Amino acid sequence: MQEESRSDCGCSCGGEGGEAGAEKRLGWHEYFMSVAHLISRRATCTRGHIGAVIVRDHNILSTGYNGAPSGLPHCNETTCRIYRSTHPDGTVEENCVNTIHAEINAIAMAAKHGVSIGEADIYITSSPCIHCLKVLINVGIKTIYYDKPYKIEHIDELLRLSGIRLVQVSPGANPTA
């Protein structure tokens, strides 16, 4: 039986698998950061939507977004309960009592499903707060990729001491990796 040859494959590649008219393929950083932004759309925090994706060897291990613990009322359903804390430099920070950050939720989901995340990387729509960074250090995350900076000055020393890399990646930048 002879195979049939067709030049109209139905994709936008130009017919014969060529590059004409083809969309540029996403790089790994852009792909994972885009996934983090998509995940952030599930967030229930009324103050910010953050998404996180834990990755190793170009495979997604776990995801998380900011919101209340499972089964408890979310801030978009009730009132946000804000508390204030003061950093040693005098900067006042406000956080919500109800919300678990995206990074912690991604770690919790990995633990819940028995997924090892040691030696992995994480993509987050904003750089981690100091509390999340401490947990990321303890679980063995090697590189933190983020889109928007969030109080990076508070985490500089911990980054330096821990050896974790912090790399800014924008979803539209398409860096090669």
154 marked among binding-site residues: no
In angstroms, the CA 172 to CA 81 distance is: 35
Catalytic residue among 93, 94, 103, 157: 103
In angstroms, the CA 102 to CA 5 distance is: 49
The structure tokens listed for 173 are 């930048």
75 marked among binding-site residues: no
132 marked among binding-site residues: yes
Burial of 91 (0-12, 13-18, 19+ CB in 10 A): exposed
Q: Is 103 a catalytic residue?
A: yes
- Residue with token string 């790089």: 27
Cβ proximity of 137 and 121 under 8 Å: no
Strands, E assignment, the chain:
51-56, 59-65, 82-86, 92-96, 121-126, 143-148, 165-168
DSSP-derived letter for residue 75 is T
Residues in binding site for Zn(2+): 101, 129, 132
Query: Would you list which residues are annotated within the binding site?
Result: 101, 129, 132
Catalytic residues: 103
